Amino acid sequence: MSRRARLLLFTAAAAALAVTLGAGLAGLPSFGGQITSYARILNELAPRQRHVTDVVSAITFDYRGIDTLFEEFILLGAVAGISVLLRPLSDETRQLPRDKAPDRAIPPPSPAVWLLAVFLSSLLVLTGLETVTHGTLTPGGGFQGGVILASAIYVVFLGTNYVTVERFQPAPLLEASDGVGASGYVVIGLLGLLAGASFLSNVVGLGVTGNPISGGTIPLLNLVVGVEVAGGFAILASEFLDQTAVIRTRRR
Q: Quote the CA–CA distance of 49 and 201 in Å, as a whole number.
A: 13
Distances in Å between the Cα of 118 and the Cα atoms of 113, 115, 124 are: 9, 5, 10
Q: Which of 136, 151, 126, 122 is nearest to 217 (CA)?
A: 136
Q: Quote the CA–CA distance of 230 and 150 in Å, as a whole number.
A: 5
Report the nearest approach of other proteins to the CB of residue 128 (Å). 16
Q: Quote the CA–CA distance of 224 and 179 in Å, as a whole number.
A: 10
Q: Quote the CA–CA distance of 94 and 224 in Å, as a whole number.
A: 32
Report the nearest approach of other proteins to the CB of residue 36 (Å). 3
59 secondary structure, DSSP code: I
Give whichever of 125 and 147 is closer to other proteins, judged by the CB atom: 147
Report the nearest approach of other proteins to the CB of residue 95 (Å). 15
Give whichever of 135 and 159 is closer to other proteins, judged by the CB atom: 135
Give whichever of 53 and 161 is closer to other proteins, judged by the CB atom: 53
Report the nearest approach of other proteins to the CB of residue 238 (Å). 13
Give whichever of 5 and 101 is closer to other proteins, judged by the CB atom: 5
127 CB-side CA count, 13 A: 14
Question: Residue 203: in which H helix or E strand, if any?
Answer: none
Single-letter residue type at 110: S
Report the nearest approach of other proteins to the CB of residue 122 (Å). 25
Give whichever of 55 and 129 is closer to other proteins, judged by the CB atom: 55
Report the nearest approach of other proteins to the CB of residue 120 (Å). 22
Using only C-alpha atoms, what is the Rg of the chain? 24
Give whichever of 59 and 117 is closer to other proteins, judged by the CB atom: 59
